[in-house]
Structure 1
């Protein structure tokens, strides 16, 4: 059963009554960024192995890096506007327009006649994907119930490997074709995920926090009820969540917080939130996964696996393994916490990088006499590395930044995190093939050293957000929670109770006060 819900935007919503169904649809509409991104990385992995692709564009190390990394140029510019767009238009419309731009880039990529056209297409694709990814992370974190937020938002990036697995299978199949369709067909199929997202968007509600901020109070309460209690507006949990949102956003307005991009650096609290929240993007980027995410062929060459068909098969197996690790990591983040899981993952990454570097050096010193056990051992540790990366960084990349940032800086702060990630990735994706070609195994030692610094920064500066609503996280940074209602989890588990009649009266008085001030 569907009910039409006002959204405060041009994009209507026909929302199912079942909260479980709404939750499933929320995930489906928001995984488009990670699925498209995962598909893209795995597809380029496959294409960079295919002679039909490399010969068509006459690629060398520099142009391979340009073709591959140009998506991050679009990803570099996308965050410059995505925060403002997400705040102005609404979370769902921003996702919609990001999908449209992504589809345009994909069509141009599949039709590319030369390197210039391919690069321009991937810049457009990256621009659209950045808008979709930022809006999706903000939207899902603000809309999912707090007890499911780790899974709901974590899956947003876990689906990276679903897209990667699909692309690995498709490129393995089309790799045998003796025409440019060997790479054009996989390129074109990439659009299916954005199309699916556009189809699902009309069946999910708008972010209740965006609705409250824009003055759509009843619509926001309905959205909270739809995502928490099968549409029951009088449910104690719904009233508690709604009142907490009202109180917190009203406090931000009274404190002079605005939606300006300058707000992210305006106060000491905002700067601290920004530095901690936006660190997830760069930390995940320099962890070392770019080598295997885009240049698996080159990485396997350093280990002695040179047959292109074997490399394509390895690409498929790798993505199955990483998907399993990402889901395991999401469970750990939900049960154990964000910071402990990140530290565990980072420690394992450091260990793997130095082992890979050592084994690759042994192979490089005497490739003709290298034993099979050496080759297989190197490949095995490469696979372990990608799995360990997936445990923490895959789910945390979209989960942690919007949790740490309060409403007034959330969209622009997440955009800044993506900006930093893509700026760094633009450089690293271009540099990695050149580095692997010129210094080989030493790249692993360099990357391992970076990761040691990252481990220390996480241990000292990161905060734990597990088990808290977005408004309750304020207490970590502001020193207090800006609402008088009990914590959401305490109400849900029965540890705390609320007076429904009194809460209803407080809500009426608060809305009246806000409306009078607005007039």
Structure 2
């Protein structure tokens, strides 16, 4: 049974009555968005192995890096407008337009006739993916109930590996084709995830926090009820969540906070939240996974596996392994915490990078007499590395930034995370093939060294957000919670009680007062 849900935008919504089913739809929305990026990384991994692709464009290390990294040029410019678009148009319309632009890029990429057209197509694709991805991360963090937020928002990046696995299978299947469709067909299939995202958007509601900021209070309360209590407007949890939202956003407005990007830099607390918020984008990008994410063929070659078909098969197995690890990592972030999971993941990555570097050096010193045990040992540690990366950085990349950012800076702050990630990725994806070609195994030691610095910054700098609503996280930075109701999880678990009638009266008085202020303003 579907119920029409007001959205305050041009996009209507018909929402299922069941909160559980609605949560699955929200999770599906996150899955198909993340699959686009995963598909791209795995597809380019496969294409960089295929002679039909490398010969068609007559690639060398520099043009290989340009073709592969050009998606990050679009991803670099997309965040400059993504936060503004998501704040002004609404979260769902921003996701829609991002998906449409992504589809245009996919079609241009499939039809590419030369390097220039291929690069332009990937810039368009990257721009659209950044717009939908940023809006999606903000939207899901603001809409998912707090007890499922780690799973719902973590999945936004976990299903990177579902897209990657599909791409790995498709490139393996087309790898023996003797035409340009060996790489054009995988390019075309990349658009299916954007289509699925557009299809599901009419059946999920607008962000309740965005609706409150627009002055649509009843509409926001309905969405809170739909996402927390099967539409029951008077449920204690619904009242607690809703009052936290309206109290906190009223406080932000009284403090003079706006949705301008300048808000990020106005106060020391905002600057701290922004710097912590963008750190996962930077840290995850330079952790070392770019080598295996985009240049697995070159990495396997340094370990002694040179056959293209064997490399493509390794690509398939790698993505199955990483998906399992990402799901396990999401469990850890939900039940253990964000910061401990990041520390564990980063420490394991450092160990693996130094082991890979040492084994690759042993192979490079005497490749003709290298034992199979050495070769397969090196590959095994490469796979462990990608798994350990997936445990922490895959779910945290999209989960942690919107949690540590308050509403006024959330959309622009998440855009800043994406901007930082793409800026660093643009550089690292371009230089990695050059680095591997020139200093080979030493690249792993360089990467491991800066990862040690990152580990220290996480231990010293990050804060734990597990088990809190977005409004309750304010207390970790602002020093106080801006609402008088008990913490939502305490109410949900029955450890705290609220006076339903009293809270209803407080909400009505607060909403009427806010409306009068807005009318005068």
Q: Give the match's secondary structure for 1:316.
A: helix
- The 5 A counterparts of 1:1-400 are 1-400=1-400
Shift of 1:32: 2.9
Deviation at 1:518, TM superposition (A): 1.2
Contact 2:30–2:155 (8 Å) recurs in 1: no
Q: 3-state DSSP class of the match of 1:31? A: helix
Say whether the 8 Å CA contact 2:15–2:205 is kept in structure 1: yes
Counterpart Cα distance in 2 of 1:32 and 1:70: 22
* Cα shift at 1:377: 0.3
The alpha-carbon deviation at position 157 of structure 1 amounts to 0.4
* Structure 1 Cα separation of the partners of residues 26 and 325 of structure 2: 23
What is the DSSP-based 3-state SS (H/G/I as helix, E as strand, rest coil) of the residue aligned with 2:205?
coil
8 Å contact kept, 2:30–2:152? no
- C-alpha RMSD of the superposition: 0.5
How far apart are residue 132 of structure 1 and its match? 0.7
- Once the two structures are TM-superposed, the CA of residue 400 in structure 1 deviates from its matched residue by 0.3
Task: State the Cα distance separating 1:512 from its structure 2 match.
Answer: 0.6
- Contact 2:19/2:230, CA 8 A, preserved across alignment: yes
Give the Cα–Cα distance (whole angstroms) in 1 for the partners of residues 319 and 204 of structure 2. 30
CA distance in structure 1 between the aligned counterparts of 2:364 and 2:139, rounded to whole angstroms: 48
Where does residue 432 of structure 1 map in the other structure? 432
Q: Hey, what's the Cα distance between the residues in 1 that align with 2:258 and 2:150?
A: 28
Are positions 1:450 and 2:450 aligned together? yes
Secondary structure of the structure 2 residue equivalent to 1:9: coil
State the distance in 1 between where 2:353 and 2:122 align: 30
Aligned partners of 1:149 and 1:37: how far apart in 2? 21
Unaligned stretches of 5+ residues in structure 2 = none
Tell me how far apart the structure 2 counterparts of residues 285 and 32 of structure 1 sit (CA, whole Å): 21
How far off its partner does 1:31 sit? 2.5
In 1, the alpha carbon distance for the partners of 2:254 and 2:337 equals 33
Q: Distance in 1 between matches of 2:34 and 2:444?
A: 26
SS at match of 1:234: coil
Which secondary structure does the structure 2 equivalent of 1:486 belong to? coil
Match of 1:516 in 2: 516
* Whole-Å separation in 2 of the counterparts to 1:321 and 1:291: 17
For 1:187 and 1:24, the matched residues in 2 are separated by: 28
The CA distance in 2 between the partners of 1:242 and 1:469, in whole Å, is: 11
Equivalent residue pairs, number? 519
Q: What residue ranges of structure 1 are gaps of 5+ in the alignment? A: none
For 1:448-487, list aligned pairs within 5 A. Answer: 448-487=448-487
Partner Cα separation in structure 1 for residue 468 and residue 4 of structure 2 = 30
Q: Cα distance, 1:383 vs. partner?
A: 0.2
Deviations 1:279-305 (A, max 9, x none): 000000000000000000000000000
Range that drifts further, 32-41 or 194-203: 32-41
Contact preservation (8 Å) 2:247, 2:483: yes
SS at match of 2:495: coil
Deviation of 1:263 after TM superposition, in Å, equals 0.4
Q: Deviations over 1:444-503 (max 9, x none)?
A: 000000100000000000000000000000000000000000000000000100111111
The runs of at least 4 aligned residues of structure 1 exceeding 2 Å deviation read 30-33
Deviation string, structure 1 residues 101-120 (Cα, Å, up to 9, x no partner) = 00000000000000000000
1:355-390, CA deviations, whole angstroms, 9 ceiling, x for partnerless residues? 000000000011011111000000000000000000
Secondary structure at the residue paired with 1:120? helix
Would the aligned equivalents of 2:474 and 2:480 in 1 still touch at CA under 8 Å?
yes
Q: Secondary structure at the match of 2:70?
A: helix
